[in-house]
Structure 1
Amino acid sequence: MAVCGNPAFKIILCGDYGVGKSSLFRRFTSNTFIEGSVRESALGLDHYAQTFSVTSKDDFKVQLWDTGGMERVATVTSSYYKFSDAAILTYSAEDLESFNNLSQHILEIVSYAENAKIFLCGNKADLHEYVTDSQINEFKEQCQDLIVKSYKVSCKSGVRVHEMFQDVAETLSRENRQRIDPDAFKVAPPVEPKSKCGCGTG
């Protein structure tokens, strides 16, 4: 949860099993990709922290959390969602069913992490995309502004993965600064010139 001074933001990965959440996590932590045929799946929550910079004086830490495959055996407990600042809602661009199941994951996010900002991520953009832009826009409209931004990435090639995390982190940092000092982002109203005459009419 973000705090004043040195903010730290908790970001969770949500979505169906097999959409590439752990691959996103691996790209974020070590900039690597492992083919599905040789990937070993380990059960258990995992998290990793990384520091981002906006300016030389504005650093903030991001903690990315992954389910570690727990969604296959049981509903992820509320502790996974607790105190989350953001949720990256992930689907596979080549798997329409994973996109259609996003509504269920939205319900879990708003139930267990009601203050989390939700970002939509279409993974496997290097493959044939069965999810169209019109379907994405329609889903975002149905969510009634719950989706802050949407991205298309490829964990395999690494395309736009780092840019997505940087943008999510900067969005959270900017909103955190607005909560701390709301006036810092407001445009000051024009100052009306004072009358040169200080006397009254009487």
Structure 2
Amino acid sequence: MSWNYVLKFIITGDAATGKSSLLIRLTDQRFLSNPDPTLGVEFGSKLITIPEEDNKVIKLQCWDTAGTESFRSITRSYYRGAAGCLLVYDVTSRKSFNNTRSWLADVREHADPHLTCILVGNKVDLCEDDSASSEASASPPTTSKLTRRRREVTTEEAELFAKEEGLLFIEASAKSGHNVEKAFEQAAIEILGKVRQGIFDDDRSPGVKASKPSNTNNTLQLDQGTQKSSCC
């Protein structure tokens, strides 16, 4: 299947916020209740269609980075050249939200200055009275009352932080799939807008590559990473 653009994304944030689960939900449409901790970086790719952009087909190349300090020197190297970033926190963990400032500063120091970042509040399925997860899915709730936890970060607080920092914002659930693909879509739409403005181009932006059907070597080079699912 052909695509119009290849976009490089990084997924960053504290450990145990569900970054790997978001990636697995995006690429495989499944949920792992107890995924192994990410060691270094893991990779996944996905084709999505953007109706708002004349049904352009986008290939997402996503690098899920470890959330522990010991791997930061490794993960920083993957920030370079990224066009998009999912900055993930757990809505039931105040600490993970507070630490998004540190992760954001790190990304801005090492990534493309024009990178599009979307703040993602994950695990809304764990909140007792979260209305966003219920309105997004017609299926019955899958989280029992015994596993529910108290929300520690309100939607309004996260929205304000995102607005102050110039970030996109969305709340999601890797378990139910609520808003997972939409998070990538929103970021992709903004990136494509930057392409139209000339902010990103093929020659100087490694995180954005337009499809070139006449050159099959280009496509092969872009897909080399799919043979390796993890690093370090």
| Residue 43 to residue 29, structure 1, CA distance change in 2 (3 Å) | same
Equivalent positions of 1:44-193 (< 5 A) are 44-54=40-50, 58-67=56-65, 69=66, 71=68, 73-77=70-74, 78-113=76-111, 114-128=113-127, 129-143=151-165, 145=166, 147=167, 149-179=168-198
Superposition RMSD on alpha carbons, in Å? 2.4
- Kindly provide the CA deviation profile for residues 39-72 of structure 1, in whole angstroms up to 9, marking residues without a partner as x: 33352322222222336773332111112x3635
1:17 maps to which residue? 15
Q: Is the 8 A contact 2:50 2:185 kept in 1?
A: no
Distance 1:105 1:98 in 2: 10
Q: How far apart, in 1, do the equivalents of 2:121 and 2:17 lie?
A: 9
The TM-score, its normalising length taken from structure 1, stands at 0.75
Distance 2:48 2:195 in 1: 14
Percent of residue pairs bearing the same amino acid type: 29
Contact 1:52–1:169 (Cα < 8 Å) also in 2: no
What is the rounded CA distance, in whole Å, between the counterparts of 1:45 and 1:101 in structure 2? 19
Q: Which structure shows the higher helix fraction?
A: 2
**Offset of residue 20 of structure 1:** 0.4
CA deviation string 1:125-146 (max 9, x = no partner):
1112210133213323442x2x
Question: Considering only CA atoms, is the larger Rg found in Structure 1 or Structure 2?
Answer: 1
On the 8 A contact 1:109/1:116 being kept in 2, the answer is: no
Which structure 1 residue ranges, 5 or more long, are not aligned? Answer: 181-202
Amino acid aligned to 1:18: A
SS of 1:80's equivalent? Answer: helix
Alpha carbons 1:11, 1:86 under 8 Å: kept: yes
Instruction: Structure 2: state its 5+ residue gaps.
Output: 128-150, 200-232
2:25 partner SS: helix
Higher relative contact order (CA 8 A, sep 6+): 2
Instruction: Report the CA distance shift for 1:137/1:125 in structure 2 as closer, same or farther (over 3 A).
Output: same
Tell me the TM-score normalized by structure 2.
0.66
Q: What is the one-letter code of the residue matched to 1:63?
A: Q
Structure 1 stretches (4+) deviating beyond 6 angstroms?
none
